[in-house]
Amino acid sequence: MQMHAIWPRDRTQMQGAKIEKEAAARVWRFASPYRGMVLGFLIAVIGQAATGLVPPILFGRIIDDVIPNQDRGKLGLFAAFIVISSIVSAIMSLVERYWSSRIGEGVIYDLRSALFDHVQRLPIAFFTRTQTGVLTNRLNSDVIGAQRALTTTLGTVVSNVLTLITTLIAMVVLEWRLTALALLLTPIFVLPYRRIGAIQQSITREGMDLNAAMNSTMTERFNVSGALLVKLFGRQDDEAELFSSRALRVRDIGIRSAMFTRGFMIMLGLLGAIGTAMVYGLGGLFAINGSIEAGELATMGLLVGRIYQPLTGLTNARIDVLTALVSFDRVFEVLDAPSPLVDDDDAIELVGPRGQIIFDDVTFAYPGANDAIIPSLETPAGEADPTIVEGPTLENLSFTIEPGQTVALVGPSGAGKTTITNLVPRLYDVIDGAVKIDGHDVRSVTQDSLRKAIGVVVQDPHLFHESVADNLRYAKPDATDEELQAACEAAQIHEMIAKLPAGYNTMVGERGYRMSGGEKQRLSIARMLLKNPSVVILDEATSHLDSENEQLVQEALAKALAGRTALVIAHRLSTITDADQILVVDDGALAEQGTHDELLAKGGLYSELYNILVRNEPAV
């Protein structure tokens, strides 16, 4: 389902917000698969409202007819009807709650699934600029806020509306004058909610922002890397003070919100009591004058409570709905975020890739501050800084890598080597020129087929907090135990895994912290080998290995990479000297290109870098 951005993103736009028809329609579109359930829900609410009228009416009949005539039979019959109606009303209440929760939970399930799917498809630039804690808070707490609106507020609003309508009809039939008197106070119920609703909405949004900040702090400080950094710098007290200051503001906001809500409800309760007293007072005069029966007055007294109670609920419901719209606003802001990396309608599958890579006059710059996908997730104020200007990282870069070649990327830090490797699997799109694989522009093939053809091992490999086997099977879910072992043997990691207490079922810990840097890299290499790609990208893949293990892994890689295209960033000499060609990158441009011997003979930048590497290379 295609979604269009119709929700206000700016804080000032949210002040005095109204329940827009377009906003309600958008939520309703998410509920469209549940419209059959909505019908069952409405039937249950109508049944509950109708049966709720039976006891007050029968009480009046008992006072006017049964007691004066001493009709014991009718008394028992009326009493039975009152009990039965109460039981039916209770059953209808359960049915109404069941359907409202089914509808609400179903819509939230669909919304949560759509959010997760959409977020994981956003470009990598989004994740490099977004705090994980703030994002997870948006997808968790705000979705729960929207969930409450649908599961609780929906049932309350509809039930109160129908109860109010049916009660008013019954009251008008009984005594229209008392009904008109009861409605005189209605404007006093209606007028305050605009101001209270706007204040409550503003408080809710500020509370959500502060909770998101606290969640982000906990996410960053409670992972292994964050906790280690805090301890090594002795900043526990400072971190506790920072967190407490935010929690204190959340506390103050919570108190303020509670007092606003309770004060408003007390005011409405007092108005309801005054209205009831007025009905009894005037109705009592009517009864004394003989214009109405005592039983009718008793019925009207019971029914008037059924007017003010729904009115109170509906007035408060508007505040709840406006508050819920804040959650929906924040949820849809994420769902509306456009992804610049999408497959064209005519994108083709990359079938049987050979591994030829061509950079054709490529110019590329990383997204600038004004290119934020979701500004409110990237900066505290939700605004980009227009003074920040990003320059091109690569400019007019051209080269060709033939299938099966091993190509080394060499250059100073920040020259653009990792950027080049990021463009091959289309983690970013170029500004000008084209990156091609087997003659196809990577933008013309599906991203899934492109990335299936490419295996990547980075300098700091990521492992999920799962077992060794689960991390390996992330590359090939249906891999057999024999295939896992073969890949690990090729990466020189099988013997280490076999010595673990649970072998391949051993949990690796968060980000693989139970394993050494070298072990994580060899597991990452095994995972890549299990994927069996046509193109392999190694970004400092052996940087954490000692000389002995590096030699073993390099031998394994030499066999595993036979017939595959390999693009390697490395500072170790073995990979550089054995490469089929070396691309020397400097300041985003191709400075030199050739084999190791050719480049040494030129005496240029490569020769200079090589001499530095020779001096820094550890002895074998």
Q: Which of 504, 362, 521 is nearest to 457 (CA)?
A: 521
pLDDT on residue 151: 66
Q: 3-state SS string over 49-116?
A: HHHCCHHHHHHHHHHHHHHHHCCHHHHHHHHHHHHHHHHHHHHHHHHHHHHHHHHHHHHHHHHHHHHH
The pLDDT value recorded for residue 16 is 40
3-state percent helix, strand, coil for the chain, nearest multiple of 5: 65, 10, 25
**Which residues neighbour 121 within 8 Å (Cβ) at sequence distance 6 or greater?**
339
- pLDDT at residue 433 in the model: 93
Facing residues of 397 across strands? 362
CB–CB of 246/214 below 8 Å? yes
Q: Burial, 288: exposed, middle or buried (Cβ in 10 Å; 0-12, 13-18, 19+)?
A: exposed
The answer to whether 93 touches 43, Cβ cutoff 8 Å, is no
Q: How far apart are CA 298 and CA 284, in angstroms?
A: 10
Q: Are 559 and 486 in contact (CB under 8 A)?
A: no
d(CA 103, CA 105): 6
Pairing of strands 535-539, 454-457: parallel
Alpha-carbon Rg for the chain, nearest whole angstrom, is 35
Please tell me the predicted confidence (pLDDT) of residue 389.
41
Is residue 63 classed exposed, middle or buried when 0-12, 13-18 and 19+ CB atoms within 10 A define those classes?
Answer: middle
Quickly count: other Cβ atoms within 10 Å of residue 546's Cβ: 11
Contacting residues for 556 by C-beta, under 8 A, at least 6 apart: 490, 491, 492, 525
Three-class SS state of 507? strand
pTM of the model: 0.68
Q: Which helix (H) or strand (E) holds 249?
A: helix 236-289
- Confidence (pLDDT) at 497: 87
Mean pLDDT by 10 residues, the chain (620 residues): 32 40 66 80 85 85 84 86 89 86 80 83 80 74 72 74 85 83 71 64 72 72 67 73 81 80 74 78 83 83 78 67 71 80 88 92 81 66 43 89 92 88 91 93 92 85 84 88 89 85 83 73 86 87 64 67 84 74 91 90 86 60
Residue closest to 308 by CA, chosen among 186, 193, 190? 186
The C-alpha atoms of residue 335 and residue 331 are separated, in whole angstroms, by 6
Q: Which structure tokens are listed for 480? A: 């057999």
DSSP letter assigned to residue 502: T
d(CA 586, CA 246): 45
CB contact burial 218-249 (16+ within 10 A = b; e otherwise): ebbbeeeeeeeebeeeeeeeebeeeeeebeeb
Residue 620 confidence (pLDDT): 43
How far apart are the C-alpha atoms of 396 and 359, rounded to whole Å? Answer: 9
**Per-residue confidence (pLDDT) for residue 188, from 0 to 100:** 66
Residue 383's pLDDT is 44
Query: CA 242, 245, 247, 249 torsion: positive or negative?
Result: negative
Helix/strand/coil for 124: helix
Reading the block at residue 235, the tokens are: 């900043």
Tokens 């009228």 belong to 53
- Cβ 104 vs Cβ 151: under 8 Å: yes
Query: Cα separations (Å) of 362 from 8, 157, 392?
Result: 38, 58, 10
Residues forming beta bridges with residue 601, ordered by sequence position: none
- ∠255-258-260 over CA atoms, to 5°? 110
d(CA 145, CA 137): 11
Asked whether 442 and 450 are in contact (CB, 8 A), the reply is yes
What the chain holds in terms of domains, given with CATH numbers, is: 11-335 (1.20.1560.10)
Which helix (H) or strand (E) covers residue 294, if one does? helix 294-335
Check residue 382 and give its pLDDT.
41
